[in-house]
Amino acid sequence: MNIIEINNLTRKFDNKNAVDDISFEVKEGEIFGFLGPNGAGKTTTISILCTLLQPTSGLATISGHNVINDRDQVRSSIGIVFQDPSLDGDLTAEENLRFHGMVYNIPKEIREERIEYLLKMVDLYDKKDELTKNYSGGMKRRLEIARGLLHYPKVLFLDEPTIGLDPQTRNRIWEYIIDLQEKKGITIFLTTHYMEEAENCSRIAIIDHGKIIALDTPDNLKKDLKGDLITLKTSDNSAAKELIQSCFTIRPEIKGDSLYLYAENGENFVPKLFRALRNLEITSVNVRKPTLNDVFLKLTGREIREETLDAVGRMRESSRGR
């Protein structure tokens, strides 16, 4: 069953399509990853789904509610954890959650019961009376996830939920996310720049220039690259590229000081490659299975690492401005 349905969705800014006639569905209870370069249309799409922005044309529904005509019903069906911190630092953890619960008109008895449960779930109950401005980045993230769950949403939107956090904290937050999806059946819709996190997704959509250019499971996306990735450095990469193209039905790419090519059974293919390039000096060779970062690079022309650095930079600038 689909909990999110998007049909021919378009959003224009100054006659430019930020989102360009996209259509896809998100299944109930799945972890759905949304990836793309900066400016690809991720934020615009999510803003439309969260009723923060109106589409120029097309249709989007969440749990059967139209994001334009049924804004209140949509908002009561979703939880949101923004990329930038949005807690009130002058309130305690408990006060932040209580205020959120009042905004959503959760009855007092139910609200207080859920606040206690969620603070224990994210291991913050012992810190519930501390001002959140004194929290670490990981503690704030965990509290924001708890806040997004307070009104029991059907869909939880997570925009870069672990960016800038240390690996140990990222792993703990992902334990919560997977537990929510498995035990509570909550649908998770997330953006992330960490490809090891994207591996946790049931399916991934990659968007570029406002269009969905790929949508499948992580395994199927990697299989589409057809083979192992071989990275090669030679004394003359241009000559090596021409030789490889003339000897095999393979089209290598030169990026930086290396050649990149895909081949079935990479380890068995390397000796053939060496024979074809016997008149050139080969200074290094590496063979590995493709990753989602390779998929991202192949489809968008950019590495996800570049996107990560940009996003961390924006987050730090935002923090300095507060």
Which residues make beta-bridge pairs with 4?
A: 26, 62
Average per-residue pLDDT in the chain? 89
Q: Which stretches of the chain are assigned E, i.e. beta strand?
A: 2-13, 16-27, 31-35, 57-62, 65-66, 78-81, 155-159, 187-191, 203-208, 211-216, 228-234, 253-255, 258-263, 282-288
Q: Distance between CA 5 and CA 49 in Å, rounded?
A: 10
Which residues make beta-bridge pairs with 255?
A: 258
Orientation angle between helical segments 93-103 and 137-149, nearest 10 degrees: 30
Does the structure show a pLDDT above 60 at 305?
no
Q: Distance between CA 10 and CA 56 in Å, rounded?
A: 6
Q: Distance between CA 250 and CA 241 in Å, rounded?
A: 9
Mean pLDDT, residues 265-273 taken together: 94
Report pLDDT digits (tens) over 239-261: 999 999 999 989 999 989 999 99
Confidence tier at 57 by pLDDT (50, 70, 90): very high
Report pLDDT digits (tens) over 98-122: 999 999 999 999 999 999 999 998 8
Give the least confident one: 21-35, 60-74, 159-173: 159-173
Does the structure show a pLDDT above 60 at 318?
no
Predicted local confidence at residue 297, as pLDDT: 85
Q: Distance between CA 110 and CA 265 in Å, rounded?
A: 58
Does the structure show a pLDDT above 80 at 321?
no
Predicted local confidence at residue 165, as pLDDT: 77
Confidence tier at 181 by pLDDT (50, 70, 90): confident
Q: What percent of the chain has pLDDT over 90?
A: 63
Mean pLDDT, residues 147-167 taken together: 86
| C-alpha neighbours within 13 Å on the C-beta side of residue 278 | 5
In angstroms, the Cα distances linking 65 to 68, 77, 159 are: 9, 9, 22
Predicted local confidence at residue 81, as pLDDT: 86
| C-alpha neighbours within 13 Å on the C-beta side of residue 82 | 9
Q: At the fourth CATH level, which superfamily is domain 226-289?
A: ACT-like. Chain A, domain 2 (3.30.70.1150)
Report pLDDT digits (tens) over 191-206: 887 888 889 999 999 9
At 200, list the tokens. 């946790």
Does the structure show a pLDDT above 80 at 40?
yes
Report pLDDT digits (tens) over 124-154: 999 999 999 999 988 998 899 889 889 889 9
Does the structure show a pLDDT above 50 at 185?
yes
Confidence tier at 316 by pLDDT (50, 70, 90): very low
Residue ranges of domains in the chain: 2-217, 226-289
Q: 2-217 domain in CATH 3.30.70.1560?
A: no
At 72, list the tokens. 């209140």
At 1, list the tokens. 């069953």
Which has the higher per-residue pLDDT, 310 or 136?
A: 136
Find out whether 287 and 270 touch, Cβ atoms under 8 Å.
Answer: yes
Predicted local confidence at residue 304, as pLDDT: 63
Q: What percent of the chain has pLDDT over 70?
A: 94
